[in-house]
């Protein structure tokens, strides 16, 4: 199939590489010419394991990138819109870029093409796009929804071996063509209406965010008694209705999807008249989590003022350099406000950190864990990068009182205590 993907952000680039790896001819399109120039040289503008290898295998063969709609669209049968949908000031999804892409692609559409939306958009969006495209083309086209469920840091694998492919379409020929395209992915193909596909995407993310918030609340209760959250998870996991996965308490969820999708679904629910919905509360609990935890730790470490703190892990999670809604941002801002002296470490996100974090005379960055902890009063292991989790902190224990905050419960508390740290975990 000849496929165009509009928007070379995270989802667009990964999708382009993955469809190309299935033998399709793919053109990636973006209005940002510097991004396109980089991609045409095989350089991916963000860190994602395995992605640049995949791009380079197909570049100049069945994969190319352009800024020109006239070049990207004409003979292609499937046009996928994967542009960003930032949140508007009322929390709903801002569809400006999706609508602009629809308008720009329309005059170039070939007869009988499919325009599919991969961007996360609320139900009803296809009804808005239909007249925008129809106004600027005489070609016959159909619309579909193709939501994505990939995780950053594991995106290549998630896309090559997805848990499921969701096709949201009403037209049978469109369903057949999209089903044929996705059959080699070797995953269950779920065909539903466009609205169900879009609600399904929001629901999956909102549920996962609920799960995280729920276990964080339980962890907070464990902190009030003698229970250990890891043991509580052992108790609940064998129940098939619950399961053992995705139960890692911590500083709350971050990233480009969960916070935004929860807020959007909450705003959408409000628009429909459901004012008191769980999602509003979910968002509030997640937003207040970091200051609440840092206040509690403050009591345990005798205040943050003048403390040297090594913040280990700045990206929002391991295996990415993405710092959108990363816990490090709120954490470091809070610590600086409280008078702490902070050194940040991350294996991949130091460059992103320069712009994502405020410049401050009490904030420095370090390329090595060893260096970051040389004067630390508090070691704050924020993100579970293997480099951090596998590091032997018993070897770097200093000859002074030191606290070790294990924000993702990844470390052996008794080993660290034996080495002389005051160990503080989540729900322990
Ligand atoms: C998520 C969804 O998983 C993906 O399906 C969707 O398409 C986009 O959003 P992503 O944001 O890349 O993907 O990250 P994910 O690994 O799901 O983690 C999201 C956040 O939840 C991170 O901040 C992570 O640290 C946190 N998390 C995850 C927890 O706090 N506890 C957990 O048990 C799991």
86-127 confidence digits (pLDDT tens) = 999 989 999 999 999 999 999 999 999 999 999 999 999 999
- E strand or H helix at 350, and its extent? helix 350-356
Express each pLDDT in 240-273 by its tens digit: 999 999 999 999 999 999 999 999 999 999 989 9
Longest dimension (CA), the chain: 76
Percentage above 90 pLDDT, the chain: 94
Atom from ligand 1 closest to the CA of residue 148? 7
Active site residue ranges: 257
Atom from ligand 1 closest to the CA of residue 155? 12
Per the CB < 8 A criterion, the answer to whether 130 and 157 are in contact is no
Q: What pLDDT is stored for residue 365 in this prediction?
A: 98
| C-alpha distances out from residue 114 to 46, 111, 117, 136, 346, Å | 29, 9, 10, 15, 42
Q: What pLDDT is stored for residue 337 in this prediction?
A: 98
**CA 152 distance to own-chain centroid:** 5
Q: Of all protein residues, whose CA lies closest to atom 1 belonging to ligand 1?
A: 151
Residues with Cβ < 8 Å from 420, sequence gap 6 or more?
397, 402
Q: What pLDDT is stored for residue 265 in this prediction?
A: 93
The best mutation among 233, 316, 409 to test binding of ligand 1, ranked by most ligand atoms within 8 Å of the C-beta, falls on 316
Q: Where residue 76 falls among pLDDT bands split at 50, 70, 90? A: confident
Mean pLDDT across the stretch 27-53?
Answer: 96
The best mutation among 146, 163, 208, 248 to test binding of ligand 1, ranked by most ligand atoms within 8 Å of the C-beta, falls on 208
Strand partners for 316: none
Query: At 5, is the secondary structure helix, strand, or coil?
Result: strand
Name the residue with higher pLDDT: 83 or 358.
Answer: 83
Distance CA 309, CA 294 (A): 12
Mean pLDDT across the stretch 18-27?
Answer: 96
Q: Of all protein residues, whose CA lies closest to atom 5 belonging to ligand 1?
A: 149
Q: What pLDDT is stored for residue 165 in this prediction?
A: 97
CA atoms within 13 A on the CB side of 237: 11
Q: What pLDDT is stored for residue 427 in this prediction?
A: 97
Q: What pLDDT is stored for residue 323 in this prediction?
A: 97
Q: Ligand 1 site: residues with CB under 6 angstroms? A: 148-152, 205, 208, 212, 246-248, 250, 253-255, 257-258, 316-317
Residues with Cβ < 8 Å from 281, sequence gap 6 or more?
none
Angle between helices 194-222 and 229-236 (to 10 degrees): 130
Q: What pLDDT is stored for residue 277 in this prediction?
A: 87
Q: What pLDDT is stored for residue 74 in this prediction?
A: 81
Q: Where residue 321 falls among pLDDT bands split at 50, 70, 90? A: very high
Q: What pLDDT is stored for residue 289 in this prediction?
A: 98
Query: Could you give the angle at the alpha carbon of 85 between the alpha carbons of 58 and 7, nearest 5°?
Result: 20
Query: At 405, is the secondary structure helix, strand, or coil?
Result: strand
Q: What is the DSSP letter of 228?
A: -
Distance CA 2, CA 227 (A): 57
Which residue stretches of 223-274 are H helix? 229-236, 258-271
Q: How far is the CA of 362 from the centre of ligand 1 (A)?
A: 30
What is the residue-wise DSSP string for 282-326? HHHHHHHHHHHHHHHHHHHHT-STT-EEEEE--SSSTT----TT-
Mean pLDDT across the stretch 318-322?
Answer: 96
Express each pLDDT in 387-426 by its tens digit: 999 999 999 999 999 999 999 999 999 999 999 999 999 9
Q: Tally helices (H) and strands (E) across the chain.
A: 17, 14
Global pTM value? 0.94
Q: How far is the CA of 427 from the centre of ligand 1 (A)?
A: 20
Distance CA 338, CA 378 (A): 14
427 torsion bin: left (phi>0), alpha (psi -120 to 50), beta (else): left
Q: What pLDDT is stored for residue 41 in this prediction?
A: 96
Query: At 2, is the secondary structure helix, strand, or coil?
Result: strand
Q: What is the mean pLDDT of the chain?
A: 96
Which phi and psi angles does 251 have, rounded to 5°? -90, 15
| C-alpha distances out from residue 279 to 208, 252, 267, 270, Å | 12, 15, 9, 10
Mean pLDDT across the stretch 197-214?
Answer: 97
The CA-to-CA distance between both ends of the chain, in Å, stands at 54
Express each pLDDT in 151-190 by its tens digit: 999 999 998 999 999 999 999 999 999 999 999 999 999 9
- Only one residue has tokens 């590489």, namely 17
Q: Where residue 275 falls among pLDDT bands split at 50, 70, 90? A: confident
Distance CA 56, CA 50 (A): 10
Q: In degrees to the nearest 10, what's the CA dihedral of 229, 234, 238, 243?
A: 40
């Amino acid at each position: 199939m000849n496929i165009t993907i509009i928007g070379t952000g995270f989802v667009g680039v990964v999708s382009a590489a993955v469809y190309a790896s299935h033998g399709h001819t793919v053109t990636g399109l973006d209005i940002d010419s510097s991004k396109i120039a980089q991609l045409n040289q095989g350089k991916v503008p963000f860190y994602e394991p395995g992605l640049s290898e995949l791009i380079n295998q197909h570049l100049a063969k069945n994969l190319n990138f352009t800024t020109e709609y006239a070049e990207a669209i004409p003979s292609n049968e499937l046009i996928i819109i994967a542009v960003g949908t930032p949140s508007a000031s009322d929390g709903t999804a801002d569809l400006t870029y999706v609508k602009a892409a629809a308008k720009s692609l329309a005059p170039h559409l070939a007869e009988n093409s499919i325009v599919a939306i991969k961007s996360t958009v609320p139900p009803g969006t296809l009804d808005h796009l239909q007249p925008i495209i129809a106004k600027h083309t005489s070609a016959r086209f159909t619309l579909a929804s193709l939501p994505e469920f990939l995780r950053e840091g594991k995106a290549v694998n998630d896309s090559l071996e997805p848990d499921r492919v969701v096709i949201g379409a009403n037209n049978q020929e469109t369903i057949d063509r999209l089903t044929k395209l996705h059959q080699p992915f070797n995953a269950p193909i779920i065909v539903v209406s466009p609205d169900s596909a879009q609600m399904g995407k929001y629901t999956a993310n909102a549920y996962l965010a609920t799960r995280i918030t729920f276990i964080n609340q339980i962890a907070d209760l464990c902190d009030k008694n003698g229970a250990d959250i890891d043991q509580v998870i052992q108790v609940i996991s064998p129940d098939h209705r619950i399961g053992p996965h995705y139960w890692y308490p911590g500083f709350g969820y971050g990233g480009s999807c969960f916070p935004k999708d929860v807020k959007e679904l909450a705003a959408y629910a409000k628009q429909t008249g459901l004012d008191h919905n769980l999602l509003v509360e979910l968002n509030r609990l997640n937003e207040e989590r970091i200051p609440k935890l840092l206040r509690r730790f403050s009591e345990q470490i005798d205040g943050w003022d003048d403390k040297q703190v090594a913040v280990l892990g700045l990206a929002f999670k391991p295996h990415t350099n993405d710092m959108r809604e990363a816990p490090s941002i709120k954490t470091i801002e809070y610590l600086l406000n409280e008078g702490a002296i902070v050194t940040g470490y991350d294996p991949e996100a130091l460059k992103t950190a320069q712009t994502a974090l405020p410049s401050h005379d009490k904030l420095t960055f370090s390329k090595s864990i060893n260096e970051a902890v040389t004067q630390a009063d508090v070691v704050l292991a924020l993100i579970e990068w293997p480099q951090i989790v596998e590091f032997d902190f018993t070897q770097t224990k200093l000859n002074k009182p030191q606290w070790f905050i294990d924000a993702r419960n990844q470390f052996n508390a008794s080993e660290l205590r034996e080495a002389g740290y005051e160990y503080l975990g989540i729900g322990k």
